A and B are shown apart, each in its own frame.
Chain A
Amino acid sequence: MKRDIITSAIGILVLTLFCGILYPLVITGISQVAFPGNADGQLVHVDGKLVGSQEIGQNFGLQVYKNGKPVMQNGVPVTNPDPRYFQTRPSATVPPNNAAATTFSNLGPNSVATEQEISGNIQAYIALNGPYYPGKLRAANVPVDAANTSASGIDPDISVRNADIQAHRVAAVRHLSLAAVMTLVNKYTGGRGLGFSGEPGVNVLELNLALDRMNGVHA
């Protein structure tokens, strides 16, 4: 008994040093030398200013002002989507796309709250993109990823179909040809892992920054 207690007490301490200090430090050391950009989160700078991480989805919205003051709701700034930019997927974090407090929506499959959430997302999507879409944009045409909340709340990607629909609006608002915008969409579409694992996605931040460069806009 006494022997077990001594061995346990010493054991947990030395194993903490080994597994909890040494192991993470070794991984950090190797990572920082071999893959420094990745280890720090693939941060993106424009004109020397940090604007985000390639891997993290953001809210491309504009702050709403009333009488010169930012409008707040429950302590969170109210925003409208900026029509010049491709928009990321709906997010359950507060504020949307908050990468310091990620959360699931946890909305169930048979819940009225879920149906209302999805309907709201569909309406917002149609209101934003419908006017520029050739033909009539209906709920049935809205891709699921544009209507359903992502898991992480900071999904960096949107589906190719979602990007195709938004491209009409972005091209019109930016006075670019649809072909030019679609070229960029294709350029920033990632493939599947090993050719089969997962789904292709369009990286929204990279795409939006490329559009800004094309327009000569500096953030």
Chain B
Amino acid sequence: MTFLGWLTIVLFCVVLTLLAMPLGRYMAAVYTGQPTFLDPLFRTPERLFYRVMRVDPERSQDWKQYAKSLIIFSLAGWLLLYFILRTQTLWNWTGLNPEGFHSAPWNVTFNTTSSFLTNTNWQYYGGETTMSYFSQMAGLTVQNFLSAGVGIAVAVALIRGIIGRSGKGIGNFWQDLIRTVLWVLTPISIVVALILVFQGSIQNFSHYVNFNGPTGLANSIAMGPVASQEAIKELGTNGGGFFNTNSAHPFENPTGFTNFVEMLTVLVIPAGLVFMYGRMAGNRRQGYAIFATMLVMFFGACCVAYVAEAHGTPAQHAAGLHTQVVAGSTGGNMEGKEQRFGIAGSALFDVVTTVTSCGAVNSAIESYTGIGGAVPMANLSASEVIFGGVGTGLYSILLYVLLAVFIGGLMVGRTPEYLGKKIEAREIKLVAIGLLITPLAALFSTALATASSAGRQSISAAAAGGPQGFSETFYAYLSQANNNGSAFAGYGGFVQPNAGSLGSHGITFADLLGGFTMLFARYAPILFALAVAGTLAGKRVSPAGLGTMRTDNPTFVVLLIGVIVLVGALTFFPALLLGPIVQGLTGHLYQ
């Protein structure tokens, strides 16, 4: 560990807070119809979208209408993406398939389509050996925008339900979606993409480059429109890499500076939404309390990951390596890490990407130390409420807030209420079921994949013995159920002997189980969150009395952290013990 390593982590938290606060103010204006400085630019395209799509943005929807629009729109997106990916060669006339790649098989495409629709971006394929530029742009990039837009829309709808004082309306889905794309995602993506190119990311439509190096060896370099996809991939907490090695690839993440920028890009919207919530709720301290909860848990995860990775692995020590920091060398566990990021830049990125639903990686998580690998799994086990995905993080933690209010109410023996609204049996049932869907999907799928030989064929050969194989499986379904997308990447669902998918086949069990896990664990909680919004929207607000439990002070922050840790730990601790914690506790090497 180094001073600069710790400084990076602390500065990151500070800069994130400084960026998220004004963004929260801006987004609050966007979603409440206040004027913003980008209005002159986007008013006209916005009206154009409504006219072409035949939308009346003024019409407020109740939660069922909102949910119906969202589901049908998602279905349309799924069908178009599946079509584009399966007909890859059909689009060769655009000139955007210079390598002439064929489509991946149906089962892999089912998984990929479900994955990008649900903001997961789990990838059984390698980008530069599978996807044409057209598929990356018109297929995957589009869903990077839209899945993020859908997530934010749900969060905004839930907020409207919580604070609503009149009737059943929770806003208009189409308006929330279009305004998110235009006012939030597009401008920030453009800025980030240009910073990336300025630092060395590529953005072209060229053929892959072939050449002989200085010693005469033949080599080839993959090209493409990388920066535009990279920017929205981080901003929308999507995480699907243009290349197979994701943000470790020098064209996706060229310098230590871009590494810092990309991490900020991942967290800025989830953090900004929390501040936005405080403003929309009319009490900024509500937002600060939730932000404090998230930041404490985030910082703790960073510390554990950094210390664990700086320590090195049993395999390194058995081979005789010294893993202390010495002059000119990072020390620590550098297996699967890039020199320009070092230990701190990799560990921090790892935490950033797993507390959110991003799942982009700049280092190989499978090669992390046992405890270093337990950190992302613990983050995922907290159901992505430590900032979480864009939108998903906020609506998930608001469900936890309601649960904490309920438990707090039981403890003091009063009717629980939140922001003046009584939390009653119906809300708590919806909240409880909504929060249990993701763990249920993760554990059920893990059990199925561990217990069946069809599931075990996805485990990589090197991990077949010992706890690593279980860790791979558990991580795969935990990640897909949380719509994260990061991986112990040895776990496979696609056998591809040649670039371009000729002669390849998918592992149907892993592809389908993963695909259905992602879809179920995405849309079921959305429906419950919208249902909560619907029931709360109609409730009367009663003034706070002496006995009202406050939800904007440190006591509540502690209670909320307790509830999150308790639910996550009770649900996942046995599974964590079987995999990464065993690895962290032993120095034993497995065959």
Contact = CB atoms under 8 A, between A and B. Distances in A.
A149 B335 contact: yes
Contacts of A15: 142, 145-146, 181
Interface in B128-163: 128-129, 137-139, 141-142, 144-146
A24 B134 CA distance: 11
B46 to A, nearest CB: 11
A11 B208 contact: no
Given A7-B54, A59-B219, A104-B364, A23 B141 contact: yes
A111 B129 contact: no
Given A3-B54, A122-B321, A144-B316, A100 B129 contact: yes
Q: Which of A19, A24, A108, A164 has the most CB of B within 10 A?
A: A108
A56 interface: yes
B315 A31 contact: no
A105 interface: yes
A151 B220 contact: no
Given A151-B363, A154-B249, A196-B7, A50 B209 contact: yes
Interface residues of B, number: 139
Interface residues of A, number: 119
Given A27-B190, A111-B462, A201 B339 contact: yes
Interface string B356-395: 0000011110111110110000000000000000000000
B350 to A, nearest CB: 11
B339 A159 contact: yes
B22 interface: no
Interface in B304-345: 312-316, 318-323, 326-342, 345
Contacts of A5: 72, 76
A116 B433 CA distance: 47
A194 B256 CA distance: 8
B194 A31 contact: yes
A111 B257 contact: no
Interface string A36-80: 001111110010011111011111111100000000000001010
A85 interface: yes
B321 A193 contact: no
A99 B334 contact: no
B4 A164 contact: no
Interface string A120-158: 001000000000000000111111110111111111111
The main secondary structure of chain A at its interface with chain B is mixed
A105 B490 CA distance: 8
A184 interface: no
Interface stretch (B399-407, B511-519, B581-589): B581-589
Contact of A104 (B73, B254, B258, B336): B336
B353 interface: no
B415 interface: no
A14 B69 CA distance: 17
Interface in B1-21: 4, 7-8, 11
B477 to A, nearest CB: 18
A35 B318 contact: no
Given A79-B217, A193-B256, A14 B49 contact: yes
B473 interface: no
Nearest to A102: B245
Q: Which of B220, B312, B341, B488 has the most CB of A within 10 A?
A: B341
Contacts of B558: none
B197 A102 contact: no
A161 B76 CA distance: 55
B76 A40 contact: no
Given A27-B194, A59-B217, A196 B203 contact: no
B225 A24 contact: yes
A20 B215 contact: no
Interface stretch (B281-289, B463-471, B570-578): B463-471
Interface string B421-465: 000000000000000000000000000000000000000101101
A56 to B, nearest CB: 6
Contact of B198 (A20, A35, A115, A155): A35
B227 interface: yes
Contacts of A61: 215, 217
B220 A153 contact: no
B278 interface: no
A194 B260 contact: yes
A99 B220 contact: yes
Contact of A31 (B69, B221, B227): B227
Given A89-B339, A205-B214, 4 more contacts: A4-B73, A13-B80, A43-B209, A110-B468
9 contacts: A12-B76, A16-B138, A32-B203, A38-B197, A59-B215, A79-B217, A118-B316, A147-B316, A198-B260
What 8 pairs between A and B have smallest CB-CB spacing? A198-B256, A193-B256, A193-B257, A139-B320, A199-B342, A161-B328, A160-B328, A151-B248
Interface of A: 1, 3-16, 18-21, 23-24, 26-28, 30-32, 34-35, 38-43, 46, 49-53, 55-63, 77, 79, 82, 85, 89, 95, 97-115, 118-119, 122, 138-145, 147-164, 190, 192-194, 196-201, 205, 208-209, 212, 219
